[in-house]
């Protein structure tokens, strides 16, 4: 009886639970499916193309301030010189250059450095003065006191410019219009010596036909101005006429250097042994003692020189320009002012 009641109770509970679930289901709201709106398709992102800039054909310059340079002189001139040409117009006074006129020499004065107040030595004569010009020494040292061709007297004493250049292994050449100039240096210091007893133009023509392939030192002597001064007087029309011819001879040598492409590393020095007055020279008269001195070539600063120049400075300047040691016994000094060095007082006095 009790079992029957227990089973009945279970049936009632089960039915009650079923009814409860059914009731809850009926009362719950019916959920409707809400369609999800479709989003517009997102565009596919692509990388923007990389632009390659084509540079301008002419790039824009970058401006920078140039430094201010202060030139510091060196002990050797630049650019390096390979050869020196020295031309001596025998008896040429400075005032004859413009009066003649001598256009080739005047042109060198425009592009080079010059002095129209340079001094020769005493006695102002051809052989002693040329000895000082090419030895760098006063007559008391080189010993040439005679002025005629006299082989018994021998040669100028001491070490001269030809000795230095020859010892350095460079060819040395001397072409002159007076035979007595052969006594300026020993033959062993010369690669070539040639004497031509003729006018300046003839000497230049010989050089044009026989110009050396190379040289370290070439000395050329033009004698005609001196000859005509003795014959007709200094600054006479006859002398000025041959001065113009001598200038033409100089022009031939300069043109030859250009044709051979030698001007760019050749130092050119134009000078004289003495001046003259009336129909003579040899004294201490300023007209006898004053000579022109012109230097042109690479490294030369154009303009009139302020430092006093003497004929002995020719050898010293040539040796220094070639990079050779100037002997301490020389009285001449390199004219460094011509190369742009500061002007200084002359370190040694002029020859007495």
pLDDT tens-digit readout, 151-183: 999 999 999 999 999 999 999 999 999 999 999
CB 118 within 8 A of CB 291: yes
Predicted local confidence at residue 46, as pLDDT: 36
- The better pLDDT of the pair 334, 50 is held by 334
State how far the Cα of 342 lies from the Cα of 71, in Å rounded to an integer. Answer: 11
Query: 223, 228, 227, 191: which is closest to 210 by C-alpha?
Result: 191
Query: 311, 278, 16: which is closest to 335 by C-alpha?
Result: 311
**Residue 222 β-bridge partners:** 89
- The stretch 281-302 carries a mean pLDDT of 97
Ordered DSSP codes for 91-145: T--HHHHHHTT-HHHHHHHHHSEEEEEEE--SS--HHHHHHHHHH-S-HHHH---
DSSP state of 74: -
Confidence of residue 343 (pLDDT cuts 50, 70, 90): confident
State how far the Cα of 80 lies from the Cα of 261, in Å rounded to an integer. Answer: 16
Predicted local confidence at residue 349, as pLDDT: 86
> 97-126 in b/e burial notation, b at 16+ Cβ within 10 A?
beebebebbeebbeebbbbbbbbbbbbbbb
Hey, what domains does the chain have and what are their CATH numbers? 83-339 (3.40.720.10)
- Mean pLDDT computed over every residue of the chain: 83
Answer whether residue 61 shows pLDDT above 70. Answer: no
Count of CB atoms within 10 A of residue 329's CB? Answer: 11
- 311-323 confidence digits (pLDDT tens): 999 999 999 999 9
Predicted local confidence at residue 329, as pLDDT: 96
Answer whether residue 210 shows pLDDT above 90. Answer: yes
Answer whether residue 325 shows pLDDT above 80. Answer: yes
Rg of the Cα atoms in the chain = 49
Answer whether residue 303 shows pLDDT above 60. Answer: yes
Cα 77-166-224 angle, rounded to 5 deg: 85
- Strand order, beta sheet including 83-89: 192-195, 172-176, 217-222, 83-89, 266-271, 290-296, 113-119, 303-304
- The stretch 265-282 carries a mean pLDDT of 98
CB 196 within 8 A of CB 208: no
State how far the Cα of 50 lies from the Cα of 182, in Å rounded to an integer. Answer: 85
Query: In this prediction, what percent of the chain has a pLDDT beyond 90?
Result: 74
Predicted local confidence at residue 80, as pLDDT: 63
Q: How far is CA 52 from CA 45, 48, 58, 170, in A?
A: 21, 12, 17, 63
State how far the Cα of 80 lies from the Cα of 266, in Å rounded to an integer. Answer: 9
Answer whether residue 52 shows pLDDT above 50. Answer: no
Confidence of residue 130 (pLDDT cuts 50, 70, 90): very high
Answer whether residue 277 shows pLDDT above 50. Answer: yes
Confidence of residue 346 (pLDDT cuts 50, 70, 90): confident
Query: In this prediction, what percent of the chain has a pLDDT beyond 70?
Result: 77
Answer whether residue 340 shows pLDDT above 90. Answer: yes
State how far the Cα of 262 lies from the Cα of 153, in Å rounded to an integer. Answer: 37
Predicted local confidence at residue 163, as pLDDT: 98
């Amino acid at each position: 009886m009790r079992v029957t009641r227990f089973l009945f109770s279970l049936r009632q509970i089960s039915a009650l639970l079923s009814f409860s679930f059914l009731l809850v289901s009926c009362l719950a709201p019916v959920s409707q499916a809400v369609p999800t709106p479709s989003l517009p398709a997102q565009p596919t992102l692509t990388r923007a193309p990389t632009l390659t800039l084509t540079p301008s054909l002419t790039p824009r310059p970058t401006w920078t301030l140039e430094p201010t340079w202060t030139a510091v002189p060196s002990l050797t001139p630049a650019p390096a010189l390979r050869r020196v040409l020295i031309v001596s117009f025998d008896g040429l006074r400075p005032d004859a250059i413009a009066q003649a006129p001598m256009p080739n020499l005047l042109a060198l004065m425009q592009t080079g450095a010059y002095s129209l107040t340079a001094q020769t030595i005493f006695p102002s004569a051809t052989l002693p003065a040329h000895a000082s010009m090419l030895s760098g020494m006063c007559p008391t040292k080189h010993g040439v006191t005679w002025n005629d061709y006299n082989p018994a007297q021998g040669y100028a004493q001491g070490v001269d410019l030809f000795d230095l250049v020859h010892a350095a292994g460079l060819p040395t050449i001397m072409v002159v219009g007076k035979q007595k100039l052969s006594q300026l240096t020993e033959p062993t210091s010369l690669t070539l010596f040639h004497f031509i007893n003729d006018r300046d133009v003839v000497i230049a023509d010989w050089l044009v036909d026989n110009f050396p392939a190379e040289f370290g030192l070439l000395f050329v002597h033009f004698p005609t101005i001196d000859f005509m001064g003795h014959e007709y007087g200094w600054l006479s029309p006859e002398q000025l006429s041959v001065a113009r011819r001598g200038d033409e001879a100089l022009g031939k040598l300069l043109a030859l250097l250009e044709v051979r492409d030698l001007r760019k590393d050749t130092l050119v020095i134009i000078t004289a042994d003495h001046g003259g007055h009336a129909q003579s020279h040899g004294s201490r008269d300023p007209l006898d003692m004053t000579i022109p001195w012109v230097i042109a070539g690479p490294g030369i600063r154009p303009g009139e020189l302020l430092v006093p120049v003497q004929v002995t400075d020719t050898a010293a300047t040539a040796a220094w320009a070639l990079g050779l040691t100037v002997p301490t016994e020389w009285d001449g000094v390199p004219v460094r002012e011509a190369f742009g060095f500061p002007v200084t007082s002359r370190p040694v006095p002029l020859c007495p």
